[in-house]
Every structure is written in structure tokens, then in C-alpha cells.
Structure 1
Amino acid sequence: MGISNRDEMVEKGEIALEEMNKSSKKLIEDQEEEEKREVDESVDESVERIFEKVEVPSWQRQLTVRAFLVSLLLGIMFSFIVMKLNLTTGIIPSLNVAAGLLGYFFVKTWTTFLDKSGMLKQPFTRQENTVIQTCVVATSGIAFSGGFGSYLFGMSSTVADQSKEDNYMNNIKNPSLGWMIGFLFVVSFLGLFSVVPLRKIMVIDFKLTYPSGTATAHLINSFHTPQGAKLAKKQVRALGKFFSFSFLWGFFQWFFTSGDNCGFSSFPTFGLQAFQNRFYFDFSATYVGVGMICPYIINISLLVGAILSWGIMWPLIEKKEGDWYPAGLGPSNLHGIQGYRVFIAIAMILGDGLYNFFKVLGRTIFGLYQQFCNRDNRDVLPLANSPSPVTPSISFNDQRRTKLFLEDRIPTWFAVGGYVAIAAISAATLPHIFSQLKWYYVLVIYVFAPALAFCNAYGCGLTDWSLASTYGKLAIFTIGAWAGAAHGGVLAGLAACGVMMNIVSTASDLMQDFKTGYMTLASPRSMFVSQVIGTAMGCVISPCVFWLFYNAFPDLGKTTSKYPAPFALVYRNISILGVQGFSALPDNCLTLCFVFFAAAIIINSGRDILGKKWSWLIPLPMAMAIPFYLGSYFAIDMCVGSLILFVWEKTNKAKADAFGPAVASGLICGDGIWTLPSSILALAGVNPPICMKFLSSGTNTKVDTFLGS
């Protein structure tokens, strides 16, 4: 008994000691967190103190001619970059850093020159810098939300011929410059009006983070301090250096691409057998740059997906040819191996999208519940035009920002009237562009769109995730099934996807810009006007850029093309599934789709359960799904980019953090801009002079024998 009691006392003492250690550790962690928070607050507090004596220009003076001229030039450049990425991998990194840097560089150079000559009338301000960044991102954003690599191109006969399902003429609409520009002008502005009345609620009352908008604001604020200006010049120099290298590298590679599978992009890095299974490094500066910007987990997930699909699954399924699917169908037939590649990828994308949709929706509802419970017993929900008293308890930053943010109000009647007017025009116009999309389909979308735009904008403020493509896929299923296969349901679903995606995407983008403007003291009116002008530019520039690609590369959209537009086929087949059901799937494909759909949900759940500490060990299902259809060549390039950044961070982290995004942006911009002269050369009929091709020794012997004879 004595020993037992003593052991029990020792055990209790150990437990008590462990609890004390935990409490002490928790106290220390809390103190460290509090100290860090105080440091962050003091740094943040100093921002507006630095600019306290700098006059804030009126919203009209923030909208300068030079700002929009620079935005036009950068918008064209960035549209080429986004379009190229759209038509190759579909992965679009954030280009805000490059937009802010280049906008700062061009206008600062111009104003410095005018200042030295004594002709400068208006100095370059951070508000004008914000206007440029907003306009450029709005312009290039249309290249993504316009669906040139997804739903819009998915309507074409090029993509329809690959799906072999529902290829009636009422389910096909080939690209044409006129109707594409008209369609974008009709649908791209509604999202801007849908969330304007909620700007005060989102930014001031709910204090949503909007991580990308906040990061952009910090970047622009830093540019306009003396120390930040010096760093910005060095960053621009680094961007320009790697821009030149990337452009010249693209030009050099062009000389060796006179034919299919020619050039450095077809170099069998890991052997010919691996090359046939799309495992190779294709020497693309764009993908290396994208890999430097994307988080490590994205690039690793892409590589894991490539190994799982092209390294394991597809070789095994190909052995079932003649059993699971008919032999001799060809590599692009959806009733053959291509069906497994496309539909399993769709299953993972849908599983990941639906999981994140309900996750963000749940966080949105919970966040709203907390906001309403903690609104200081106010009886009325604050509206955009209602005054917000500035209390002495808030920081100097917030006092100044809130005051200026509420001065230039955008009237609620203007936003509501604009939404109703554009919705009426759109409902009357869209059926003339797409006869399959009836006016009442459009009306139903516009009734529900403001609520969905709010959910997307709020969720983006919490998580920095825009689920525009998920909302678009929901529209595909609902409108496509409503229309039915006999009445052009495939095309109606794709068009409805475009309408929904543009609304919810531009709504979250505008709210991000409002957050950036709030933190840089840019007027909400100048942000709104800049977004409208940038969107209008994009509605013209993006279709013209796509039209250039479409005419310069006749094999655009095919699996063997340099620009396969993978998501175009994915979106079309999602529409076919919504209209036709599962009859389009080859044998055993449905079972595999259910397995990977469930796997996407389970993997995401595991990531959330384990938390940030361990979730980096688990790949992202959405990223894993992309190589299922495309192969691993771009994943290998992106992993090389990650490796470069990783080694750079290990050797000099401060320099990597400061110049990594600039170097990556230079690589992306240079290679992206090379597509403009290469497209012009292709249109002019100028072909590369050399074909550099890699053959096995046996094939090479046969070629030599043939040529010798």
C-alpha cells in the first residue's frame, strides 16, 4: 500500500509538474505573440505617420492619363502572359507584384525626367500607383475569367471533335472576334455593381483581411518611401535582367522548332520511354518562373499527381486495352484511355471544388454569425453610405484610412441601378449571341448572382480563395440539365458558366482592390473607375490576343499542340456530364471517378484536421489533378523553379525574399512576351529554319538507311 500510494503521489506530482510546464510554455508563447503583435502594430502604425504631411489628391486627380497609358501597355503584356498560361497549364500565378513594380518603374521614370526638365505638374503618388495596379490586373484578369482556355474555347468544334459526344451543331460555336467581345462586354461589369453597396461592411465593419489586397497595399506603400524606392529600383533591375534573358532564350529556342516534337521543349531529359509518358524537362522559363512564385506544396502536388497518373495508373490501364475499352481508338478518343485521363481529373477537380465550396461557405456563415453577434449591440446593419464615427480608441492608421475611405462614397442607388440596367441589357442580348441560352435562364442567374458574389467576396476576404470556377461549374450543371441535350444544353451550360464566373470573379477582385485602396488612401471612386476602365480594356485586348493565338497556331486545343488548352476539354465534358449523365464514360471509369472524388474530399479533410504544422506533407488534390491530363513536363519545370528558390533561401534568405518575386516575374514576362513576335512570324508564314529532333539509335539507323538509299 505504501509503495502504491507513493507511486500515485509521484505520478500526481509528475502530472502537476507537466501541467505547470505547459502553463509556463503557454504563458511564454502568449507573451511572445503579444510582443510580436505590438511590433507589427507599431510598424503598421508608422505607415500613415510617414505620409501624414503628404497631400492626398482628389479622386479625379488620382485618375491620370499617364496612369491609363501605362496600364494599357502593361495590360497588353500581361494578357499575353495569362493567355499563354491559360492555353498551356491553366495555372495562373499572382502577377500583382510585377504589375505594381512595372507600374512604379514606368511612371517614376517619366516623372523624374519631367521633374529634371522643370515640366512636372503632378507628382507620382501611391494612389496613382494603386490605380495602375488595379487597372492592369483587371485587364489581364479578363484573359482568365473570359474562358479562352476553358468554357469559351470549349464551345468550339476543335474541342468538340475530341469529346465525340453531343456534337450537334446546336452544341458548337466557333470563336469569332465580334461575338467574343460583345459577350464579354455584356457579362463582365455586373460583378462590379453587385458588391459596391457592401464595401464598408466588408472592409471597415467586418475588417476582412483580403491577404492579396493587403500584401499589394504594403508593397505600394513601401515603394513610395525613400528606402522602398531604392529597393524597388533594384527589384526592377533584376526583373529587367531576367526579362531579357527569358525573351532571348525563347527567341533562341524558336530556331530549332520547325516541325512537330522539335526543339529543346521536346528534349528527352530522362530517356525516350519517359518522354513518351510525358516525363521531361522542357526548358520553359515561364514554368520555372511560375514555380518560383507558387508555394512549394503546389509544385510537389503537381509532381505527385504526374507520377501517380502517368507513372503508374495510365500504363496499367493501357494494358486493359481491348478489355476495358475497344482497341485502336486512338489517344484522343474519350471512349479510350483519354476518357480515363479526362474524367478522373474532372472527378478530383469537382471533389476538391465542392469540398472547398462548402468549407468556405461554412466559414462565411460562421464569420457572419460572429460579426452580427459582436456588433456592439447595434440594431441596424451598416450600409455603404451610412457614416461611421471615428472613435479615439482606434489607431491613427485606421482613423485616417476610414475617414478618407468614407468621404468619396459610391451611392447605393447608382450600384443598384447599374446592376438592374446591365442585367436587363444582358438578358435581352445573350440569347442573340447564344440561342440555346434563353432569357429566363439568364434572369435566374442574375437573381441569385448577387448572393453568390457576396459569398465569394466574403470568403476571399477570409481565405484569399476565389471559388469563381466552382460557381461556374455549378451553373454548368444546373442550366445545362435544365436546357437538356436536345436543346443545346451543352452550349447553354458553358455559356451560363461564363456568365456566373465573370460576376463572382470580378466581385471578389473589386473588393480586393477596395482593400488595397483603403490601405493606400486611394479613393473608392478611383478604384471603381479604374476597375471599370481596366475591365473595358480587357474585353477588347483579351479576345484580340486569343484571336492571334487561334489564327497563328492551327493545332491550338489539340493534345499534341504546343497550346493544348487542357481545361477547354475538361469544361466541355463537365457540361456533357451535366446534360447526358454518366453514359459517356468508358468501362470501370465511373468506379475510378467515385474513388478519386472521395479521395479528394478525404485528402482535403486530412489537411484541415492536421493543421498548418503537418498539412504541408499532404498534396493538394486540385493541383494533383492537372497533370492527369497534361503530363508532368510543366510540373518538373515548376519543381526546378522551387528548387532554385529553396537553395537561394538557404544561402541568402533576405535577398531571396526581396528579389525572388521580381526574378520570377521577369522569367514569366520575357517568355510570355516572346509569344507576340512568334505569333506574328507564324501568321506571316515565316517558319523556323531547323528541326532538332531526338531519336532512338534503332530509329536513327533506319532513317540513315532510308536517306542513304
Structure 2
Amino acid sequence: MNPVSPPSTSRALLPQNPGAESDDEGLDDLIAEEEVIEGDFTFRAILVGLLVGVVLCMTNIYFGLQTGWVSMMSLQSALLGFAIFKVLPLAPRLFPSSKPLTPQENVVLQTTAVATGTMPLAAGLVGIIPALKMMTMEEDGREPIELGYGSLVLWCMAVAFFGVFLAAPLRRQVIVKEKLVFPSGTATAQLIALLHRIPPPSQDVKPISADRPYRRLARSSTSVSPNRSRGREEGETVRFDDTEKDSEIMSGQGWWALGWSFLASGGLTVLSFLFPVLFAIPIFDVFGKPFGTSLAAGWMWWFTPSLSYVGQGIIMGFPVTVSMNIGMLVGWAVLSPLSKHLGWAPGPVSSTTDGARGWILWIALAIMIAESIISLLPITISHISTMIRHHRQRSAGPKVFAAPQSPRNSDLTEDDYYDPTEEGETDDPEVEPPERLVPMLWIQWGLGLSAVLGVGLVWVVFGSDGIHPWATALGLVLASVLSLIGVRALGETDLNPVSGIGKISQLLFAVLQPGNVVANIIAGGVAEAGAQQAGDLMQDLKTGHLLKASPRSQFYGQMIGSLASVFVATAGYKFYTSAYVIPGPQFAVPSAGIWLNLARLLNKGHLPSHVIPFMISFGILFALISFIKAFRNKLPPSRLIDHLPSGIAFAVGFLNSPSFSIARLIGGYIAYRSAKLSKSGETPLLAIVVASGFVLGEGVVSIVTLGMTSAGYGAISCWGCGLAGGGYCSGGCS
């Protein structure tokens, strides 16, 4: 790892943890209280952030179209950004400054990358856009809608910015005042601290001293060895358990592990492109031979030894992958054959209209709706009760003015008044000076202009046959309200219930604009986009808060990344749809099926034969399980609650063919075994680094294979793909 040389006045950029070693703890605390790190918004941070974001964007399109899985990838963004400045010796010569990358620059870098990389989900490119393309005249009373490049750019532009402006004013309440954890954001801050060898960030970031002017520092870093820290990525547990050891890993072994895992995954992806049977091995046909059937050709049971899905399993963790595989067994080994043999799903098993795949999809939809609604209850109840309590306390007596304890001498809000909410509770002052914050005037104008832009562009793209302007505006209002709940849920649990938010919007618009499948899908997409972007930015702002990066710089990065991704994500989606059949053997687009089927059901659609009892039964079961988990603190302690399956993961096992779930289970088991061998009992950092290499390897190389497919190149050999009728290989061999 390249050494960094801090100035003598910058001994510590973060508050020391109680157990941290320091030569001068008093000096560290004083500096931690008064420092304001400047120079985090740099050309090189934005440029590299965009480069990393483009890679993540294409990776998310690839995996999203395959399985509906889209990751924020904040850890991977910080890791890749740091690696670029570490591995490439020419990097310092490409930029005006030859100084090492600082933690604060890395925060802005990963904020830009995340904004660029998550547009496929925010704009519905792996959900609502393919769903509109899957409509039929028989089912929906209108032809499919396939947007051209220009129309798709306008649609992405319509939903690109509203969520960004929506999140900015929430920072002070949920991050500064309430100190919600935002586990993925905290984990990213801890990883960046580890990479740059600074003390691990503390949740208790101290405000700038009120009686002394804050002191600006130039871009700098330190080489203090961090202590113990921990974090979570994508809702699963990750622990950086022994930071001295982890620091050594990231100084040498970790980079080799990242490189070799990337090459292994990318190499296997190239081989599977040349020999498609490698990603569709019909090993389960052994069990079908006694019955005279091919489980691969007839029932979609084959094995995909994809290292990227193994990596996803490591990141997800063992409990989630177990839930997913239990769902896979119930859906594909029990319900699928049952519906086929009893004539409830007479079509081919792979059909999403009259086949078993489409039949079990309805049960997955019932599970997801039930869990989404129940999981929102505790956050909603808590939020409403807090608002009511604060309103009563503010109305009970006169407000007492208290001088703000920060250098903000303007833009006073109600929170600058003493609010006696609870005994011992005080109103946390802002930790940043005004010039590093996003001005309220920007937020007000931004919300207004982005809302008008969104309503206008949606009207231009879909016209009068789509969704009315008033309905789009109402969708944005709904996104504003539900994003408050989503952000709070994300801060406490690391799970943003965007799927539930989208479905709630669909339910509402079935009443407001009945009989219009297009309007139903678009309204859900608009609400989901706002909530998802607000959540992503809040995770990034948590990372910046812990590492003292400027919120305004992060806001700039988010805006730049979102704008760039409008064009990058659109181009990526059009490339994939031009080169592959979507939906098809390689890209089933399960999320699109969920969106379209719910819209059809809510607009006088018809359910498949005999599926209603199963939907009700599984919906009630997982509503009960979700209720137990949500209110476990009010129930008698029991270890059994920890072993209850996740409803969303269980449903994903229905949506994806068995091959993807099995590969993830392998990764989950690797995470479990490595955690057992670890002293901390949590997934070690090296496993996360290897998993990141696996995921990024296939994602990046898939761009290469996409180009080869577009150029007319295909498989060298289709050997093995024709067994028992074939139909399970991709790459032109199906």
C-alpha cells in the first residue's frame, strides 16, 4: 500500500474509538472537533467515479436482466477507485495533483459511481421498461411499447433527479440528529478508513466548536493503524474483525485476491460464451432418467457454475441464500410439477403466460406483497407516533430559543429551537458549516424543476394513451411520502422496501386510473425511482458524514453521476436488447414479469387456474413470519425467530431458475465456513474482496461478450446443448 504523509497538524481526521492507540489523545480529540477537510471534490475523483460507475452500470444491467438482482455496490466502488490509484503508476501523471487519493475524495468517487451504477433500477430498465415491451394485444388490449434510444433517454431524464433533491433535506434529521446506522454506508466508511489507514469512524461525529472558528485543512490523509470495526453490505453482515490483519491484507494479499478472482470469473465467462453448455450443465438429468424425462430440457433444472453468483452468495450471506434455495425447492421441485401434471399450467414449463413458471410467479408476488406491507408497519407506526409526540410537545408550551452551536448564523429552522422531546435528549447541532451544505433554496428549486421536468417528459414519451400528467405528479407526491418511510427503514435495517413502495403505488393507481396497464406500471416505477435514489444518496451521505466529506461535494457527485448514467444506462440496455432475445433463455427478466402481472391483475386481469388458494396460503404464512420478525422485541425471546426464512429471498427462489439459486447457496456456504473459521464469527474481509472480484469479473467481461454478439460472433461449439431436446443453453445454441 502506498504510504501517505500527513502534515503534523492532521494527526487524526476522525474521532478515536475508546480502544484506539494514540500518542496524544487530547490533540486528536481537539482536532477531530474542529477540522473541516477541504478539497474532496476534485476532477480526478469525479472522473474515476464515472469510470467505475460505467462498469457497475453495465454489470447491473447484465445481472438485473438475468435475475432482477441489482446492487448498490458502494463497497466495490470504493475498492475499485482506490485500486485504480494504487495499481496504475501513471495515475498521478494524468491529474493536476500527484498527491495520494484521500478518504474524502474516495467518498465523492464512490458517491458518483453509485449514482451512475444504479440507474438501471431507478429508471426501471430491468423492470418496468421490459414489462411494457412484454405487453400483448390479447392480454392488455394494446400493442407492446418499445422505446427508442431518444425516448428512453427522455424517460431516464424524467426520473433521474427528483430522488436526489428529495434526500438532501433529510440528512440533518436522520444522520446528524437521530444518528441512524445506515449499515451499508457505515461499512463503506469503515472500508475506506481501512484502505487509507486512518482510525475507524465513530458514529458520534462531534460538531464544530461554537466558540472557536473552524479550521480548514487541505486534502490530506494519515497512516494511523485503525482498530476494530464492522459493517454490512447489501443487508448482510460483514465484519472487519482484526483491522491490523485486514490492513495487511489490503496492503498485498487482498489486491492479489481481487485480481485473481476477477480473472477467474472473467475467464469462465469467456469460456461459457464459447462453449455455452458450461453455464447450463444438465447434471440433474441423472435423476430424471428413471422417469424418462430430462430435468434440464423439460423442467429448467440445470447447474450454472457462475463465479459471479457464488460471489453474490458470499455477499448475501448463508441465511439469505438458504431462504432462497428453500423457495427454489418449493417452487421448482413441488409447485411447478404439481401445476403441470394437474393441468393448471398446460404450457411449456418455461412459459410465463401459460406455463409453470408463470403459475408460480403469482405465488411469489403474493409473498412479496405480504412481506413488503407488514415490514413497513413498524417503521410507519414509529414515524407517525414520533411526529405526533413532537407536535404535542411543541404545542404544549412556548419554544425557548437556544443559540445554535454551529457556525450556521442563517437559515435557521425549527430545529434551532429547544424541543424538550425526551429527558436527556438534546437537539444535535449541524456538524458542517453552511458552505459545505446543500442550500435549502437549491433543494426547493430542484424539487420543483425536477418534478415539472418529470411530468413533462413522461407525457412526451407516453402521450395521452399512457399516464395523465396529474397522475405522474401524484406519483411523485407518493414517492415523497413513502421515501420518508423507506429512508428510515434503510437507516435502521439496511433494507430499502422499494419493491413494496412500487406495489403500493400500483394498488393506488388501479383505483385512480383503472383499466390502464401502462399507467399502472409507470406510476409504480416513478414512486420506486424516487425512494430508491433517496435511499442510495442517504447511504452515501452517511459514509461522508463519518469521514468528514462535504455533503455538497457528494451532492455534486450524485448529480453528475445521475446525468451521465442517463446516457450510459440507456446505451447499455439498448445494446443488450439488440443482441439478445429478452426475455429469453439467458435473460429472463423476472422483475418485469412481477410488474406486468400485478398491473394486469389490478386492471381486471384473470389469475391462472387454482392459483388463488396457494397465493392466500403463502401470503398469510409470510405475513405472519414478517410480523413476528418486525415485532420480535415485543415477543418472548426465542432463537427460532433467527431461523425463520426471509420472504423476499424465498420469493426470489421462485422467480429465478434453480441454477442461479444453487450457485448462490455455494457462495453462502463459503461465507458461513469462513465466518466459522474467523475469530470474530463474521465474514472476513478477504472473502468480501474475493466475492467482489467474482461479481465484477463476469459483469465486466459480459460487456466484451455483448460486443462479440453484436458483431455476429457466437459459440465455437454447442456440444451438450442438444441433450433431450435442448433449449437450456444460451449463446445461439438454444
TM-score range, shorter chain: 0.7 to 0.9
Asked whether the equivalents of residues 299 and 349 of structure 2 are also in contact (C-alpha less than 8 Å), the reply is no
Distance in 1 separating the partners of 2:506 and 2:66: 23
Mapping for residues 296-695 of structure 1, pairs under 5 Å: 296-321=318-343, 324=344, 327=346, 331-332=350-351, 334-366=353-385, 368=387, 379=399, 385-386=411-412, 402-404=430-432, 408-435=436-463, 436-485=466-515, 489-553=516-580, 555-558=581-584, 561-580=585-604, 583-608=605-630, 609=632, 613-653=639-679, 657-693=684-720
Q: In structure 2, how many angstroms separate the alpha carbons of the residues matched to 1:119 and 1:644? A: 43
Contact preservation (8 Å) 2:300, 2:658: yes
* Alignment map for 1:18-417 (pairs within 5 Å): 41-43=18-20, 49=28, 52=31, 61-109=39-87, 114=92, 120-156=97-133, 159-161=134-136, 165-169=139-143, 172-225=144-197, 226=223, 227=225, 230-234=248-252, 235-257=254-276, 262-269=277-284, 271=286, 273=288, 274-275=295-296, 276-321=298-343, 324=344, 327=346, 331-332=350-351, 334-366=353-385, 368=387, 379=399, 385-386=411-412, 402-404=430-432, 408-417=436-445
- After superposition, the Cα gap between the structure-2 partners of 1:604 and 1:454, relative to the gap in structure 1 and judged at 3 Å, is closer
- The AA in structure 1 aligned to 2:641 is S
Report how far residue 666 of structure 1 moved: 0.2
Alpha-carbon distance change, 634 to 374 in structure 1, aligned in 2, over 3 angstroms: farther
Q: Is the partner of 1:168 in helix, strand or coil?
A: coil
Q: What's the offset of the Cα at 1:220?
A: 1.4
In the TM superposition, residue 248 of structure 1 has moved relative to its aligned partner by 1.0
* Cross-structure match for 2:219: none
C-alpha distance 535-433 of structure 1, shift in aligned 2 (>3 A): same
SS of equivalent to 1:616: helix
Higher helix share: 1
Query: Cα–Cα, structure 1 residues 361 and 280, in superposed 2: closer, same or farther, change >3 Å?
Result: same
Q: Is the 8 A contact 1:70 1:107 kept in 2?
A: no
Aligned residue type for 2:60:
V
- SS of structure 1 residue aligned to 2:280: helix
Q: 1:164 offset after TM fit, Å?
A: 5.1
Distance across 1 between alignment mates of 2:389 and 2:564? 40
1:406 to partner: Cα distance? 5.2
Tell me how far apart the structure 1 counterparts of residues 485 and 26 of structure 2 sit (CA, whole Å): 31
Say if 1:250 and 1:674, in contact at 8 Å, map to a contact too.
yes
What are the superposed Cα offsets for residues 532-555 of structure 1, whole Å, 9 maximum, x if unpaired?
A: 1111122111111111111111x2
Q: How far is the alpha carbon of 1:81 from its aligned partner?
A: 1.6
Q: Quick one: distance in 2 between partners of 1:165 and 1:657?
A: 50
Q: Distance in 1 between matches of 2:356 and 2:495?
A: 33
**Does the 8 Å CA contact 1:477/1:579 hold for their aligned counterparts?**
no
Per the alignment, do residues 120 and 673 of structure 1 end up closer, same or farther by CA in structure 2, a change over 3 Å counting?
A: same
User: Is 1:297–1:616's contact at 8 Å kept on the other side of the alignment?
Assistant: no
Cα separation, 1, equivalents of 2:127 and 2:720? 31
Instruction: Give the letter for the 1:693 counterpart.
Output: G
TM-score (norm 2): 0.79
Are the counterparts in 1 of residues 121 and 529 from structure 2 also a CA contact under 8 Å?
Answer: no
Secondary structure of the 1:148 match is coil
Distance in 2 of aligned mates of 1:103 and 1:523: 18
CA spacing shift, 1:607–1:447, aligned 2, 3 Å: closer
Q: In structure 1, what is the equivalent of residue 4 of structure 2?
A: none
Alpha-carbon separation, structure 2, partners of 1:105 and 1:666 = 12
CA offsets per residue over residues 505-551 of structure 1, 9 Å max, x none? 11122222222111111111101111111111221111111111111
Which is higher, the Rg of structure 1 or of structure 2?
Answer: 1
TM-score, length-scaled by structure 1: 0.81
**Cα 1:148/1:271, change in 2 over 3 Å:** farther
Of 454-463 and 541-550, the range deviating more from structure 2:
454-463
Distance across 1 between alignment mates of 2:623 and 2:490: 21
Deviation at 1:374, TM superposition (A): 9.2
What CA deviation, in whole Å up to 9, does each residue of 1:258-280 have, x standing for no partner? xxxx3442332563634343344
- 1:379 shift after superposition: 3.6
CA distance in 2, matches of 1:344, 1:418: 41
- 1:318-344: CA deviation from partner (whole Å, max 9, x where unpaired): 2211xx46x567752634534422211
The answer for the alignment partner of 2:220 in structure 1 is none
1:48–1:224 CA distance, 2 compared to 1 (3 A): farther
Per-residue deviation, residues 379-423 of structure 1 (Å, max 9, x unmatched): 4899994388999xxxxxx99995336552322122111111221
Change over 3 Å in CA distance of 1:374–1:304 after alignment to 2: farther
Closer, same or farther: CA 328–144 of 1 in aligned 2, 3 Å: closer
Q: Percent identity?
A: 23
**Matched-pair contact (CA < 8 Å) for 2:127–2:592:** yes
**C-alpha distance in structure 2 between counterparts of 1:659 and 1:686, whole Å:** 37
Q: Deviations over 1:100-153 (max 9, x none)?
A: 1111121345689649x9984544211101001111111111122221221111
Per-residue Cα deviation, 1:550-585 (whole angstroms, up to 9, x for no partner): 1111x2213xx11111111111111111211xx411
CA contact (8 A) 2:379 2:488 kept: no
What are the ranges of 5 or more consecutive residues in structure 2 without an aligned counterpart? 1-14, 198-222, 227-246, 289-294, 419-425, 727-734
> Conserved in 2, the CA contact under 8 Å of 1:111 and 1:120?
no
CA RMSD of aligned residues (A): 3.6
Sort the Cα spacing of 1:415 and 1:290 in 2 relative to 1 into closer, same or farther, 3 A: same
- Work out whether residues 514 and 603 of structure 2, in 8 Å CA contact, stay in contact via their aligned partners in 1: yes
Q: Is the 8 A contact 1:97 1:661 kept in 2?
A: no
Output one character per residue of 1:609-666: Cα deviation in whole Å (capped at 9) or x when no partner. Answer: 4768332311111111122233321111011112222233334457951211100000
How far does residue 290 in structure 1 lie from its aligned partner after superposition? 0.2
In structure 1, give the amino acid aligned to 2:142: Y
The separation in 2 between residues aligned to 1:125 and 1:470, in whole angstroms, is 38
User: Alpha-carbon deviations, 1:25-50, whole Å to 9, x = none?
Assistant: xxxxxxxxxxxxx9965559979939
Q: 1:20 maps to which residue?
A: none
Please give the alpha-carbon distance, in whole angstroms, between the structure 2 residues aligned to 1:612 and 1:529. 47
